[in-house]
Every structure is written in structure tokens, then in C-alpha cells.
Amino acid sequence: MLIKMHKNRFVRLMNTFSDYDMKQFERFIHSPYHNRSQQCVDVFNSLKYYLFEVPGINFTKAELCVSVFKDTKKINTLEVILSKLTKLAEGFIVIERLNRQPYIKQHLLLEELLERQNLEYSRSIITNTINRHETIKQRGEQFYFEHYLLIGNRYSHTILLNEKNAWKDLNEITRVLDEFYLVNRLKLMCEIESYKKRYSTEQNEPQIDPTKELLKPDSIRENPMIAIQYSMLLTISNEREEDFKELLSIFDKYYLDIPKNELLSLYSTITNFCIRKIVQGHSNYAQTLFSIYKKQAEQRVLSNRKYVSGQLVKNIVSLSATIGEFKWAEDFLKLHINDVKPDSRDSVYHYNKAILAFYQKDFKTAMEHLNQTEKIDLSFELGRKTVLLRTYYELKEGLAFDALCKSFREYVHSQNGMPTRLKKAYVNFTTVIRKIERIRQQGEHGKILPLIEKINNYEFLTNKPWLIEKLKELPAYKRALAEETVDD
């Protein structure tokens, strides 16, 4: 039996390494402090050759054994070394993470110094570290977490030095804890409300809000992160226009005070709110959402990781196309397509080119691009099949249209983990577009106005404006309107 290497834990970790990570890890395993096994170095070098110097080769453990040991039978030895390399890689990732968080590093140093009762040495470190930390202008969740830990170090130091003098630090750590708690509690409350809206979750027990008393002091509400999160919670909970406008106003006022790596989460919540409103039929939110996406792109707040989500690129290009912002969308796609993960980059590119062609009514070009896409995930597949079905309709490809209607409906029903509201939205879409096609073929004008009314009454239906537009394009639509006018 040939045992392939691509599913090995260490290989999967290596595949997440950037060029910088690879160079640093190579230095890491050559350090005798971290690794004293030459075999680990040899296996790593062979893996690096297979994965990066001749990529695409689906090699086996036996082939790796030949490369390292000149013997195909040392699979067990290889397994042990791969396990050691996995542990080394995990340790390396932790250290690299710690190096990107200098104040967490200082906190751990102070904890160790205090545990060793080295009070004089730790005093100057505490003072200098807190002073430097308080000069940070962009303050997000990470800042308040670090601040709480460092003030806690100072409180512990004071207790050890002279417990009677700890009162001031005790009050300070309580205030800092409130800030840290509120920033994170409000964020979680926003996520709870978003989850309930997205999945129609029923709460059997009343939701207790422990934040109201803490939010009363003006000094607390002037905290940028708390102000944004609280305004976001009101917006998601109440879904009132005035709350959303207030949120955008506060966000515009404070976004420069929020670290870039934390802005993405805030943008995601705001854009998801807009998307929900658009799905509910509030088309005026489309232009607002485009403005938010545009600002997000200009600020380069599209990802906290190495790659930009293909789903985000898809959402941005699709929305831009629906409101006619083709030039901006083309430029956006050209600028960011290479930021998408390589294994899905081509499909994401062709899908978005298909969207742009479709909305510019170049349906044959749209079909050419759709034929060059492959399945990535559920969301991408739903979008791909929807555009493909609409393209078949526009091109009057009757047989392909009927076959896809049936298979798409079955595909949606087969997705067990898919939210009910999403299933209904896509099942209703296939039902309605099939009825529109039947009316187009048979000219049953008497069914047009009742179907438009039914479309408007659907709680869950994707592409609602387009479906109504297709009905109104039918020659029988004018006849149906004329008959209704006569009846009135």
C-alpha cells in the first residue's frame, strides 16, 4: 500500500508556511537548543525539495524513505521523525506568534520574575512596559487584553512589595477589567444577535444583559471600541435605520483608532447586516454596502491572513456588478485576484469574470468563464449554479435549463448543514425561475401578476429583483397589465 504524504500533519503545516516562515524554521531546527536530531534536518530538507522545488509531485512515504535513508523499509523511523518535526513546527509557530506580540511576551517575563520574587528587577520593567503600552494610539481587543494583563502584573508586584499600598492599583485593575470585559462582551453579544438573525435561532431563556450598568459612565462610553461595539449591538438587535446611521457615524469617527487586524471583524459584521437587509428586499442598502466595500478595499482591510477570502472577492464584485460599477469591479478584481489562495484562484477569477459579463448582458462570455470554474465550497457552488441557471435562461438553452433546475434543487436539499432560510431562498428561486420559463414558453399572461405578488411575499428568495425584471420583460406582461386596468 502506497501511503501518500499530502495528508501528513507536518506536511500540512509546512504548506501554510510563507517563504519567510520557511527560512526562519530552517534556522530554528538547526539550533541545538531546539533540535539535536540530524535526521529531523534531513527529512525536512527532503520534504522541502518535494514540496517547493518540484511542486505538484504526489510522493509517498516510501519514496521519502529512499531519499533520506536509502531504504524503503524505515517507515516507522520516518513516522517518529515526522512526529518530532510536527512538535518542532508547533513550537516554532508559538514562538513566532509570541514575537509578534511583544507585550504578551513582557507579561510572561514579568510573571516569571514575580514568581522568582525578583521585585527590584521587575519594577523598572513594569513601569517602562506600561508607559510604552499606553502610547499605543490604535486600541482594539488585543490592546485591552494586554493592558489588563500588565496592570495585573503591577498589582501583583505591589502586593508582594507592600500590600497596604495596593489600593490604587486594585481600583485601576478593576477599571481596566471593566473595559476589557465590555469590549469582548459587546462583541459576543453582537455575534449572538447576528447568529439569531442568520439561523432564526429561538431563545428558550431570556437573554440577560449584564453590560447596562457598566455602560453608564461617560468615560466608558467614550472608549472607541466600546462605542462601536455598543452601537453595532443596537443596530443588529433593533434593525432600525437610525441605529445603523449612528453606527456608520461612530465608525467613521473612530476607525483610525482601531488596529487594522481587528477592523476586518467589524467590517464583516457591518457588511453582513447590509446583506441581510438587501435579502429582505431593502434595495437601498446596496449602494451603502458598495460604499463600505470600497472603503474597506481602499484601506486594504480585506484579510488578517496571508490570502484574501475568495468569498469576499465574490461578494464585492457581485454587488458592484449589480449596481453597474463595472470599471471599479474590474480594477478591484485585477488588483486582488493574486491575493486569493492559489488552489482556488483560477475558479474565483473566472467566476467573477462571468458575473461581470453576465450583468453586461454578454451571456456567451459569461458561459465561457463559468465553464472554467470548479467547486470550491458550498457558498461558491450556490453562486455558480445560480449564475449558470440565469445564463441558461437568458440564452434560451431549454434542455440545459430544465436539467440544472432539477439537479440544483436536489443539490440544495442534500446539504444537511445548510441553514433552513438559505435552503428556502434557493429552492424558491428554482421554483420561481421555472415558472417564469413556463410562462415565457406558453404565454400564460394571467399568471404573471399573481406570480409577481407571490415573489414579493416570499420571506426567503434569492435574486428577487432579477426575477421580477424577467417577468416584466415578457411580452405577455403588458397584456396582463392592460387586462388588470380594464378590470379596475
Q: Would 420 be classed as within a structural domain?
A: yes
pLDDT class of 487 with cuts at 50, 70, 90: low
- My answer on whether 35 and 181 are in the same domain is no
Residue 440 belongs to domain spanning: 391-488
**Residue at a domain's end among 268, 301, 334:** 301
**Residue at a domain's end among 251, 280, 301:** 301
* Average pLDDT, integer, range 67-84: 86
- My answer on whether 90 and 215 are in the same domain is no
The one-character DSSP state at 7 is T
CA distances from 263 to 111, 231, 291 (A): 30, 15, 16
- Cell output for 285: 442598502
Read off the pLDDT of residues 283-306 as tens digits, 9 standing for 90 and up. 889 999 999 999 999 989 998 777
- In this predicted structure, the answer to whether residue 21 has a pLDDT above a threshold of 50 is yes
Read off the pLDDT of residues 192-241 as tens digits, 9 standing for 90 and up. 888 777 666 555 555 656 677 777 777 666 788 888 988 988 898 888 88
Read off the pLDDT of residues 335-363 as tens digits, 9 standing for 90 and up. 999 999 888 999 999 999 999 999 999 99
Does residue 449 come out as left (phi exceeding 0), alpha (psi in the -120 to 50 range) or beta?
alpha
- My answer on whether 116 and 27 are in the same domain is no
**Residue at a domain's end among 70, 99, 128:** 99
Evaluated on CA atoms 308, 314, 318, 324, the torsion sign reads positive
- My answer on whether 126 and 254 are in the same domain is yes
The one-character DSSP state at 51 is I
- My answer on whether 145 and 229 are in the same domain is yes
- My answer on whether 65 and 193 are in the same domain is no
- My answer on whether 115 and 261 are in the same domain is yes
- Prediction pTM value: 0.71
CA distances from 444 to 97, 99, 447, 448 (A): 65, 69, 6, 7
**Quick check: helix, strand or coil at residue 183?**
helix
